[in-house]
Amino acid sequence: MQNGIENRLGGKGSRGLMAAGWLIVIAISLVLIRVGKDLFIPLVIALIGVYLIKILERWIGYIKISGRGLPPVAALALAFAAVIGLSFVLFSIIADNAVRVAEFAPRYQIRLLAIQSDLFRTIGFEEPPAIRQFFGGFDLPGTLALVAMNLATLLRNAILILIFGVFLLLEAQFIPTKIAAIFPDANRRALVQGILKRVDRDIQTYFGVKTLVSLITAILSYAVMKFVDLDFAAFWALLVFILNFIPTIGSIIATILPGLLALVQFEEWRPVLILVVGITLIQQLLGNIIEPNLMGITLNLSPLVVVMSLILWGMLWGVVGMFLCVPITVILLIILANFPSTNWVAVLLSKDGVIQR
């Protein structure tokens, strides 16, 4: 009996040591991810770029010319050129409009202070000195300059991203051979290949649905902005498209920013209300009704997990981490679900406890 108790205690101790070991590994990994973000962020962006290139290459391969498809090398070259060209156009639009917005920033700030004073005068209260000091000290041109500086930093990393992307494309062709060498056992190899296929399918679904929904949201939002004649409508529509890739918070910011600009641009409330209500309805319809029906069943992520992932990766990698939080969490869920010892973790991360394997 004593031996049985000792064996049970020993088993619990081993599990405790294993759990402590995993916690240490996770903590060290998070520290390394944070410390090495200047290396990892360009690498991850390059990985996403390569993933998009491979998807686009597959689509281009379906094109028939005189009954024959394009050679793989030609399809890859066209896909590579399309992704690089589109990235350059997007950065050019953002950089050009950021400069123009910065030119208007002093006028917007004066208008914001006037609205603040009028609001307190209307409600019959004296403006608190703390609020006056806060808004008076708020440096809108400096904030926009900081945004421009971050864009410049990202553009400086473009060369490193491009180098990573080229080498990742060259390396991708050897992945099947490496998997076969690492997993000589047929059953384990089939398990790994199944995981990779699910990762590919779910991430492709995520990016496909998210891109389509974000594009439709940006187009409809642009129509509303042009209807009220908002300044820099194309720039704000582009930001709406980009911010919609950030779960939950992105759509809120994409509604608030144009609304604030409308507030300082227009003298009357009617265009402001039309803009805010219009964009809010578009976000609610597409983000809360159409998008979950297209994507929620496949990804099956708990909303709480999405928010926690957003906060964690935002703390680690900033805005880039916010964009990447859902794909990273989906990959983690798929991998955990395919191993009996970690399946319970995948169940906790899921929305309804149902894991597709």
In total, the chain counts a number of residues equal to 357
Poorest-pLDDT segment among 2-16, 114-128, 246-260: 2-16
The per-residue pLDDT for 221 is 92
CA distances from 25 to 15, 28, 29, 276 (A): 15, 5, 6, 46
Tell me which range, 41-45, 115-119, 211-215, 277-281, is most confidently predicted by mean pLDDT: 277-281
Q: Find out whether 151 and 95 touch, Cβ atoms under 8 Å.
A: yes
Domain-located, residue 4: no
Same-domain status, 45 and 160: yes
Domain-located, residue 94: yes
* Number of structural domains the chain divides into: 3
Same-domain status, 99 and 194: no
Query: What residues are paired with 301 via a beta bridge?
Result: 350
Domain-located, residue 293: yes
Domain-located, residue 5: no
Give the pLDDT band of residue 342 (cuts 50, 70, 90).
confident
Q: Is 249 exposed, middle or buried (0-12, 13-18, 19+ CB in 10 A)?
A: middle
Domain-located, residue 287: yes
Q: Determine the structural domain holding residue 354 and report its residue range.
A: 300-357
Same-domain status, 59 and 134: yes
Looking at 148, 173, 198, the residue that finishes a domain is 173
Same-domain status, 280 and 163: no
Same-domain status, 165 and 188: no
Domain-located, residue 11: no
pTM score > 0.75 for this model?
no
Same-domain status, 163 and 243: no
Looking at 151, 173, 195, the residue that finishes a domain is 173
Report the SS3 class of residue 174: coil
The per-residue pLDDT for 303 is 76
The per-residue pLDDT for 235 is 81
Domain-located, residue 127: yes
Same-domain status, 223 and 267: yes
Q: Which of 175, 173, 160 is nearest to 38 (CA)?
A: 160
Same-domain status, 66 and 143: yes
Quote the CA–CA distance of 129 and 109 in Å, as a whole number: 18
Same-domain status, 284 and 336: no
Quote the CA–CA distance of 263 and 218 in Å, as a whole number: 20
Same-domain status, 206 and 166: no
Torsion from C-alpha of 151, 257, 48, 52, nearest 10 degrees:
-110
The per-residue pLDDT for 9 is 46
CB atoms under 10 Å from CB of 247, counted, come to 20
Same-domain status, 71 and 136: yes
Give the pLDDT band of residue 278 (cuts 50, 70, 90).
very high
Burial 110-146 (b: 16+ CB within 10 A, else e): ebeeeebeeeeeeeeeeeeeeeeeebeeeebeeebee
Same-domain status, 118 and 78: yes
Domain-located, residue 2: no
